[in-house]
Amino acid sequence: MKAHNKWLTAPLAAGLAAALLSGCGEEKGGDAGDAGGSVTVGMSDDILATDPAAGYDPGSWLLFNNVFQSLLGFPKGTSVPQPEAADKCGFDQGGSKVYRCTLRDGLKFSNGNPLTSEDVKFSFERALKINDPNGPAPLLSTIEKIDTPDEKTVVFRLKVPDATFPSKIASGAGSIVDHREYEDGELRSDGKAVGSGPYKLDSFQDGQAVFSPNPDYKGTVKVQNGGVTLKFFHGDRKALGTAMQKGEIDVAYRGLAAGDIAAIQAADTTSEREIKVIEGSSAEVQHLVFNVNDPIVGKLGVRKAIAHLVDRDAIVNNIYRSTATPLYSIIPAGIVGHNTAYVNEYGDRPQREKAEQALRSAGVDGKVKLTLWSTPTRYGPSTDDELKLIAKQLNDSKLFDATVKSVEFEQYEKDIKAGKYGVYVKGWVPDYPDPDNFTQPFFGPGNVLNNHYDNSKITGTLVPRTAATADRAATEDDFGTLQDLVAKELPILPLWQGKQYAVARDGVTGLEWTLDASTVFRFWEIKKSQS
Give the per-residue pLDDT at 376: 92
Q: Are strands 218-219 and 324-326 parallel, antiparallel or unpaired?
A: unpaired
Mean pLDDT for all residues in the chain: 89
Q: Indicate the residue type of 405.
A: K
Within a 10 A sphere around the Cβ of 323, how many other Cβ atoms? 27
CA 354 – CA 358 distance, rounded (Å): 6
- Is residue 258 scored above 80 in pLDDT? no
Give the per-residue pLDDT at 278: 83
CA 41 – CA 396 distance, rounded (Å): 44
Give the per-residue pLDDT at 404: 98
Q: Are strands 208-213 and 86-91 parallel, antiparallel or unpaired?
A: unpaired
The pLDDT of 75-85, averaged and rounded, is: 90
Helix (H) or strand (E) holding 273: none
231 and 204 in contact (C-beta within 8 Å)? no
- Is residue 148 scored above 80 in pLDDT? yes
Phi, psi of 386, rounded to the nearest 5 degrees? -60, -45
325: helix, coil or strand?
Answer: strand
206 and 232 in contact (C-beta within 8 Å)? yes
Residue 253 pairs in a beta bridge with 502
- Is residue 282 scored above 80 in pLDDT? yes
348: Cβ–Cβ under 8 A, 6 or more apart, which residues? 312, 313, 326, 328
Give the per-residue pLDDT at 501: 82
Radius of gyration of the chain (CA): 23
Q: Indicate the residue type of 383.
A: T
- Is residue 272 scored above 50 in pLDDT? no
The pLDDT of 292-305, averaged and rounded, is: 98
29 and 213 in contact (C-beta within 8 Å)? yes
Residue 499 pairs in a beta bridge with 281
Phi, psi of 461, rounded to the nearest 5 degrees? -125, -55
Cα dist. 146→68, 119, 138 in Å?
A: 20, 12, 16
pLDDT tens profile 342-377: 999 999 999 999 999 999 999 999 999 999 999 998
Q: Are strands 98-103 and 153-158 parallel, antiparallel or unpaired?
A: antiparallel
- Is residue 224 scored above 90 in pLDDT? yes
Give the per-residue pLDDT at 25: 38
Phi, psi of 36, rounded to the nearest 5 degrees? -75, -175
Residue 508 pairs in a beta bridge with 528
pLDDT bracket for residue 269 (50, 70, 90): very low
pLDDT tens profile 370-400: 999 999 988 888 899 999 999 999 999 999 9
Closest to 214 in 3D by CA, of 229, 233, 201: 201
Give the per-residue pLDDT at 108: 98
Within a 10 A sphere around the Cβ of 529, how many other Cβ atoms? 10
Residue 146 pairs in a beta bridge with 156
79: helix, coil or strand?
Answer: coil
pLDDT tens profile 176-215: 999 999 999 999 999 999 999 999 999 999 999 999 999 9
Percentage of residues in the chain having pLDDT higher than 90: 72
Phi-psi region of 10 (alpha: psi -120 to 50; beta: other; left: phi over 0): left
- Is residue 432 scored above 50 in pLDDT? yes
pLDDT tens profile 462-511: 999 999 998 899 999 999 999 999 999 999 999 999 988 889 998 999 99
Q: Are strands 143-150 and 153-158 parallel, antiparallel or unpaired?
A: antiparallel
